[in-house]
Amino acid sequence: MEPTSFKAASAEEAVALIRAKLGAEAVVLNVRRLPPNGLARFWQKPMIEVVACRPEATGAEADPFSAALAEFRQELAEIKQQVASRPAAEIPNNVEWTDDAGLEGGNWRIGAALRKSGLLSLHAQHVLDRLHAQYGENPPSSFGEEITCAQNVLAAAWREPSPVAAKSVHVLIGAAGCGKTTYLCKWLTQAVLVEGRLARVWRLDGATANMAESLSVYCEILGAAHERTWQPGGENIPEDIGFIDFPGIDWRKPAAVQELAGLLKQFGQARVHLVLNGAYEVSILLAQFRAFGVLPIDDIVITHLDEESSWGKIWNLVLGTNCSIRHFSAGQNIPGDLCDASARMIFARQFPGKQAGNVIAKQLSI
């Protein structure tokens, strides 16, 4: 299809126009600023021109990127089907997934509720053990108060991520389809527009080319410096914050993870953030964390939470790893739907009942 030119006042408007006319699979070919003509330049903001086209999808001339994306989606669907069809004993670390798994909770009734809200049996049992140790064998008479006790135990396990230091560089890694680049754009927008930081972005190639053209678009609009190559000493940035984006890698291949480990060494003291798709099953999330665990991961980011109603399963990452969680992200809108991760937010989704919520608010001051 022939390239089409779109003129817009912002990146968000340009993306909306492109999707409306060419669809979500449209490929951005070029972005440039359009300064106002004549006297209008004194009061009008520059417009942008985005050139995009719809990939060809027929015959031997089919767009290779679209073909690769379709192949990945098919492969992901097969993986999900295989995981769903495997018996529990084959899930990594032999994690039990059946709801009838025996929990030794004594008189405490919260165990079944924890399982239904997304906790694995192993972690639900951990909470019950802590409840016995802290409150004794007999729970409060009110189930709402019992929920509060369980949340006290869970809140004590929450780890706060370290603050974002000035002049720091942050590397985003993860599997293909985790929403890494969209999350980076959201964080970049928040840093520039909300926090008033100057930013620099590197869109780097890995084992495959980094095709995230939209990232360059947002950098243009926000006035953030962006580069396609890394120079030695690049971590000594003049800006307030830096971001490095890599294409997703196949976490099931140890060689691919080791190759990424080699690439990370060139970034000095850069902070490494593992991005996980929160809509995936817990078994896949934990398997991905173990695969990437050989890397110097500082914390975790969870995306696609608009596609997941069972936020309680996030506790499996808190209790099953040694990492803190930095951000929760949802949706494709930029900016928006990005917030600091907290136990409070999980509790609001995990136990939304009005009576339990009032008790929780009183006890935990949320």
Q: How far apart are CA 242 and CA 225, in angstroms?
A: 9
204 and 313 part of one domain? yes
Q: Give the residue from 236, 248, 250, 243 showing the smallest Cα distance to 215.
A: 243
Q: Is the residue at 215 inside a domain?
A: yes
Q: How far apart are CA 284 and CA 286, in angstroms?
A: 6
311 Cβ contact partners less than 8 Å away, ≥ 6 residues apart = 118, 305, 345, 346, 349, 350
Q: Give the residue from 7, 33, 53, 337 showing the smallest Cα distance to 182.
A: 337
317 and 200 part of one domain? yes
pLDDT at 39: 60
pLDDT at 64: 52
74 band by pLDDT with thresholds 50, 70 and 90: low
Tell me the two tokens of residue 154. 């869970």
Place of tokens 């939209």: 214
Which region among 122-131, 135-144, 305-314, 326-335 has the lowest average model confidence (pLDDT)? 326-335
Q: CA 137: distance to chain centroid?
A: 39
- Does residue 269 have a pLDDT over 80? yes
Work out the average pLDDT over 70-76.
58
Which region among 129-138, 306-315, 329-338 has the lowest average model confidence (pLDDT)? 329-338
268 and 357 part of one domain? no
Q: Which of 38, 54, 70 is the last residue of a domain?
A: 54
Q: Is the residue at 241 inside a domain?
A: yes
* Higher-scoring residue by pLDDT: 51, 365: 51
Q: How far apart are CA 4 and CA 273, in angstroms?
A: 36
> At how many degrees (to 10) do helices 282-292 and 254-264 cross?
50
* Contact yes or no for 286/95 (Cβ under 8 A): yes
176 and 324 part of one domain? yes
Pairing relationship of beta strands 225-227 and 168-174 according to DSSP bridges: unpaired
Q: Is the residue at 194 inside a domain?
A: yes
197 and 253 part of one domain? yes
Amino acid, single-letter form, for residue 145: E
Helices (H), the chain: 11-22, 64-85, 110-116, 121-135, 143-157, 180-189, 213-222, 254-264, 282-292, 315-320, 343-350, 354-364
pLDDT at 78: 58
Over the stretch 203-249, which tens digit does the pLDDT of each residue have? 999 888 888 888 988 899 889 999 999 988 888 899 999 999 999 99
Over the stretch 28-48, which tens digit does the pLDDT of each residue have? 766 777 776 666 555 666 777
63 Cβ contact partners less than 8 Å away, ≥ 6 residues apart = 27, 55, 56, 57
Q: Give the residue from 147, 113, 111, 146 showing the smallest Cα distance to 127.
A: 111
* Higher-scoring residue by pLDDT: 295, 331: 295
185 and 146 part of one domain? no
Q: Is the residue at 92 inside a domain?
A: no
Tell me the two tokens of residue 171. 């590397």
48 and 111 part of one domain? no
334 band by pLDDT with thresholds 50, 70 and 90: confident
Q: Tell me the percentage of the chain whose pLDDT exceeds 70.
A: 79
How many Å is the maximal CA-CA distance in the chain? 79
215 and 335 part of one domain? yes
Domain carrying residue 33: 4-54
104 Cβ contact partners less than 8 Å away, ≥ 6 residues apart = 125, 128
Q: How far apart are CA 193 and CA 278, in angstroms?
A: 26
- Does residue 100 have a pLDDT over 50? no
Q: Is the residue at 346 inside a domain?
A: no
121 band by pLDDT with thresholds 50, 70 and 90: very high
pLDDT at 97: 33
pLDDT at 47: 79
Tell me the two tokens of residue 233. 């000493």
327 and 197 part of one domain? yes
Q: Is the residue at 359 inside a domain?
A: yes
330 and 359 part of one domain? no
93 band by pLDDT with thresholds 50, 70 and 90: very low
- Does residue 339 have a pLDDT over 80? yes
Q: Is the residue at 67 inside a domain?
A: no
Q: Give the residue from 299, 361, 304, 307 showing the smallest Cα distance to 330.
A: 304
Q: How far apart are CA 109 and CA 103, in angstroms?
A: 10
CATH code for position 299: 3.40.50.300
Q: CA 91: distance to chain centroid?
A: 23
Structural domains counted in the chain: 3
Element (H, E) at 37: none
- Average pLDDT, rounded, for the chain: 82
pLDDT at 107: 87
Phi, psi (deg, nearest 5) at residue 6: -125, 135
176 and 153 part of one domain? no
Helices (H), 136-239: 143-157, 180-189, 213-222
60 band by pLDDT with thresholds 50, 70 and 90: very low
Q: How far apart are CA 269 and CA 4, in angstroms?
A: 42
193 and 336 part of one domain? yes
Over the stretch 340-353, which tens digit does the pLDDT of each residue have? 999 999 999 998 86
- Does residue 263 have a pLDDT over 90? yes
Work out the average pLDDT over 156-164.
96
Q: Is the residue at 309 inside a domain?
A: yes
